[in-house]
Amino acid sequence: MYKLTVPEGYKSLLTPRQTQLAIKKVKDFFERDLAIQLNLTRVSAPLFVASDSGINDTLNGVERPVRFDVRDIDGDVEIVQSLAKWKRMALSQYDFEEGEGLYTDMSAIRRDEDTDNIHSVFVDQWDWEKHIAREDRTEETLRNTVKRIYRALRHTERYIADDYAFVEKNFLPKDITFVTTQELEDMYPELTPKERENRIAREKKAVFIEKIGGALKSGGIHDGRAPDYDDWELNGDIVVYYPVLDIAFELSSMGIRVDEKSLVRQLEIRGCSERLELPFHKALINGELPYSIGGGIGQSRICMYFLRKAHIGEVQASIWPDGMIRECEKYGIELL
């Protein structure tokens, strides 16, 4: 079932054609600044990978990848759900040194997504990965990297605000706030994880929510994370307050990647230790892959945020339920 929220009195501030021009401005500027902030080089990336490679992102473990066969290829292939594991292998393949990294344009299909104002079956993001030393697998490294990405977001805000008066130049606060999922639960024990995010986002305007995936004191989890790419003790989401929809709006998921010990531990917790027999996991256990930090930054989400759109379909071409299309037409939400 889809869910659609229509902000009272909403009207797009740009025509569809103006929106297309603005999308390119946002993407081009942010991409350049991100590469500078993190010392990244752009590379090409696959749209699909072999199903038995262990490379595809399993997300929460229940989402079905789009799988198909290819003539003259043994075994099925899958459209990527993200490139979390592939990027780490690419760091090794392309001989990136410590302190260097890569980024790429990632396009994915998530067929089981519940569509709404901010979720689509089509996902486009900048996937990035950076080689780090083993001793740099620390909270300090994580937080310093978050600050650099946030700096690129603020630079983009000021750049777009020069061309579009409806964008406030300093709506994003100067500094991003750091909070762990356990701290959020302690602060708001009566709220759901999503309600906690909304509360802290309204208060702080920009937060990095740390340590996602592991169990909280209550026995639950804040949100799901695959067990074989992020270290659940060294990861998190960049979340900002989005005034158009009055919600916490996730722009990026990222983290320091698992090492040999955390990979085994997290696979055991999730009951999928059999993955240790897959090629990617074997390479990691055998020390053949670099230690790294990486993440994904939503391209459509950033465009939606800076262009103050009510629906992600206003900044990307995707497919939507017929009922949602009719409602959007009724309320003046112009889907691309």
Is 155 a member of any domain?
yes
Among residues 31, 33, 78, 110, the one annotated as catalytic is 110
From the first residue on, what is the mean pLDDT of each consecutive set of 10 residues in the chain (336 residues)? 87 92 96 97 91 75 82 88 86 94 92 90 94 96 97 96 88 96 96 95 97 92 88 96 95 95 93 89 92 95 96 94 92 91
**Whether residue 120 lies in the annotated active site:** no
Among residues 31, 33, 57, 228, the one annotated as catalytic is 57
**Whether residue 250 lies in the annotated active site:** yes
Is 64 a member of any domain?
yes
Among residues 237, 257, 266, 316, the one annotated as catalytic is 237
**Cβ–Cβ under 8 Å, residues 275 and 258:** no
Is 37 a member of any domain?
yes
- How many folded domains does the chain comprise? 1
**Cβ–Cβ under 8 Å, residues 59 and 224:** yes
Among residues 125, 252, 266, 299, the one annotated as catalytic is 125
Length of the chain: 336
Looking at residue 61, what is its pLDDT?
64
Among residues 33, 157, 210, 250, the one annotated as catalytic is 250
Looking at residue 234, what is its pLDDT?
96
Q: What single string gives the DSSP state of each residue in 114-165?
A: --SSS--SEEEEEEEEEE--GGG-SHHHHHHHHHHHHHHHHHHHHHHHHH-T
Among residues 81, 253, 299, 316, the one annotated as catalytic is 253
Looking at residue 335, what is its pLDDT?
93
Whose CA is closest to 82, among 135, 46, 130, 118? 46
**Whether residue 125 lies in the annotated active site:** yes
> What residue numbers bound the domain in which 250 lies?
16-330
> Which CATH number covers residue 297?
3.30.930.10
**Whether residue 57 lies in the annotated active site:** yes
Q: pTM (2 decimals)?
A: 0.91
Is 103 a member of any domain?
yes
**Whether residue 273 lies in the annotated active site:** no
Is 8 a member of any domain?
no
Is 5 a member of any domain?
no
> Measured between alpha carbons, how far is 133 from 293 in angstroms, rounded to an integer?
10
**Cβ–Cβ under 8 Å, residues 102 and 11:** no
Is 2 a member of any domain?
no
Is 268 a member of any domain?
yes
Torsion of CA 247, 295, 228, 266, to 10 degrees: -50
Task: Please return the burial class of 174, using the count of CB atoms within 10 Å of its CB with bins 0-12, 13-18 and 19+.
Answer: exposed
Residue written as token pair 């899958």: 78
Looking at residue 3, what is its pLDDT?
87
